[in-house]
């Protein structure tokens, strides 16, 4: 007897960065979102910011939830693991999870914690 398969839950991705009033500062974060869309057409991906510019993490999560996302991955685009990564982000993600109990919310490690990114930056530096 064959097992029934279930369709993958619609997933959304939030690229979370610090934020700036300068719209040019956001260009690299938005470029990552554009690359996600090219690499995985149909994937819902939004940028969100801790402060100084919209949208906030809760706003982006609400937009993904309204669009039907049943799972959300939050990818903090931070190189270091400072107070924001250690304290603020887990608290914010817990708030998002509490606001959307039917949605699985996953906080990924910060970008700087991935050895692949460290190796890529070293390769770029070496030219």
Sheet holding 11-17, edge to edge: 44-49, 11-17, 71-76, 104-107
> For the stretch 74-113, what's the b/e string if a residue is b when 16 or more beta carbons lie within 10 angstroms of its beta carbon?
bbbebeeeeebbeeebeebbeebbeebeebebebeebbee
Catalytic residue selected from 11, 16, 17, 18: 18
84 part of the active site:
no
Q: What residues act catalytically?
A: 18
């Amino acid at each position: 007897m064959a097992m029934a398969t279930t369709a993958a839950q619609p997933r959304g991705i939030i690229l979370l960065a610090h934020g700036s009033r300068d719209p040019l500062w956001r260009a690299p974060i938005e470029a990552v979102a554009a690359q996600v869309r090219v690499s995985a057409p149909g994937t819902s991906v939004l940028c969100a910011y801790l402060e100084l510019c919209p949208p906030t993490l809760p706003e982006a999560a609400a937009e993904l939830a309204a669009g039907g996302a049943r799972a959300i991955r939050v990818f903090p685009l931070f190189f270091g693991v400072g107070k924001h990564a250690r304290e603020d982000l887990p608290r914010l993600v817990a708030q998002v999870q509490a606001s959307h109990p039917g949605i699985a919310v996953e906080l990924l490690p910060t970008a700087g914690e991935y050895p692949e990114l460290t190796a890529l930056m070293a390769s770029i530096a070496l030219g």
